[in-house]
């Protein structure tokens, strides 16, 4: 069994656990590490289980163990926030050196304007220190975040223009010619994140490093592009392989329902005459999108550490500090 265990929680409190085994016939058991809590495990497929009955007010860890004694300890990656379905913990990944990114310190999401009271209660348990909001000011004003009253995190407003699609859609005159036009636009957006918007991400790193062992959240509107590059930068700084970073980025395709958002976007930007297929690339994630940002780094610098030092101000000393905080054996 590999460490590619994926756990997510639905808003109703039900957990889903998926795993990968070299042999599909390998027997795997799942155990919830919850003191005194009664729960039910249902093995729906050979590589999938469903857990119900756990207290919804806190996070839970699970032990996934195969018949050969290999086991993985993990918690949910996607938290069950009904008002922010793409809210995820991007810890838990292995670095190239074999260490693991700590769970419970690094989070990513879409906007927080529609959080329910139950969502706020769960968010409160995360003890976030910092929130980085990459939305444009008009986005922040039209959909203000809901945050816990107890020990509210410090919010850093770091507006990023690419990823806010209003300018492009206004220039299009209310009509996008086809999906290939939107796809190319999204590739360009992600390239700009790595160059034109680099100073914003540098400010993010400065704020993180200024507060010891900060638990933080990065978010934008959907939690995929502006947020995706922010999460990728931190994971790369921590030494997580690029293939794993891409896997984390692509998880938005599972938790952000692009097709469900098409009608809202058509109304918001006056695109009723534009076919939904032409709008979908804006709402989706694609390996080519984040790949475009990473290609800029390779074009301009010999490697990722050189880019981080020259552009983000994250040199050897800063990398060592981030790894001290956010990695464990």
Catalogue the active-site residues: 220
Pairing of strands 88-89, 71-75: unpaired
Coil, helix or strand for 182?
A: helix
3-state helix, strand, coil in the chain (%, to 5): 40, 20, 45
Dist. CA 233–CA 166, nearest whole Å: 26
**Residues 221-235: b if buried by 16+ CB within 10 A, e if exposed:** bbbbbbbbbbbbbbb
Structure tokens at 266: 């058509």
- Token reading at 164: 């806010």
| DSSP category for residue 320 | H
Q: What tokens does 92 get?
A: 């838990």
Taking alpha carbons only, the member of 78, 139, 145, 136 closest to residue 112 is: 145
| 67 backbone dihedrals φ, ψ, rounded to 5° | -65, -10
**Are the C-beta atoms of residues 47 and 19 closer than 8 Å to each other?**
yes
């Amino acid at each position: 069994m590999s460490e590619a265990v994926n756990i997510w929680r639905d808003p109703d409190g039900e957990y889903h656990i998926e795993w990968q085994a070299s042999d599909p016939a390998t027997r795997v058991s799942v155990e919830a590490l919850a003191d005194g809590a009664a729960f039910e495990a249902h093995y729906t497929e050979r590589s999938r289980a469903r857990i119900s009955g756990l207290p919804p007010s806190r996070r839970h860890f699970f032990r996934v163990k195969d018949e050969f004694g290999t086991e993985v300890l993990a918690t949910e990656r996607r938290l069950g926030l009904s008002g922010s379905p793409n809210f995820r913990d991007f810890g838990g990944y292995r670095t190239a050196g074999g260490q693991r990114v700590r769970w419970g310190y690094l989070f990513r999401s879409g906007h927080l304007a529609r959080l329910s009271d139950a969502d706020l209660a769960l968010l409160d348990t995360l003890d976030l220190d910092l929130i980085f909001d990459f939305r444009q000011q008009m986005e922040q004003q039209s959909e203000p975040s809901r945050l816990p009253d107890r020990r509210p995190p410090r919010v850093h407003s770091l507006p990023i223009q690419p990823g806010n699609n209003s300018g492009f859609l206004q220039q299009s005159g209310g009509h996008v010619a086809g999906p290939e036009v939107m796809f190319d636009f999204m590739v360009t957006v992600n390239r700009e994140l790595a160059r034109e918007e680099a100073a914003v991400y540098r400010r993010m790193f400065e704020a993180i490093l200024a507060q010891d062992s900060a638990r933080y959240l990065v978010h934008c509107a959907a939690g995929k592009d502006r947020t995706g590059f922010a999460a990728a930068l931190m994971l790369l700084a921590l030494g997580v392989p690029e293939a794993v970073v891409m896997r984390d980025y692509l998880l938005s395709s599972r938790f952000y329902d692009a097709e469900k958002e098409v009608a809202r976007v058509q109304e918001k930007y006056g695109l009723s005459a534009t076919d939904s297929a032409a709008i979908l690339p804006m709402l989706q994630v694609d390996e080519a999108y984040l790949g475009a940002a990473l290609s800029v780094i390779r074009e301009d610098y010999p490697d990722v550490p050189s880019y981080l030092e020259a552009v983000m101000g994250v040199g050897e000393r800063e990398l060592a500090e981030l790894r001290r905080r956010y990695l464990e054996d």
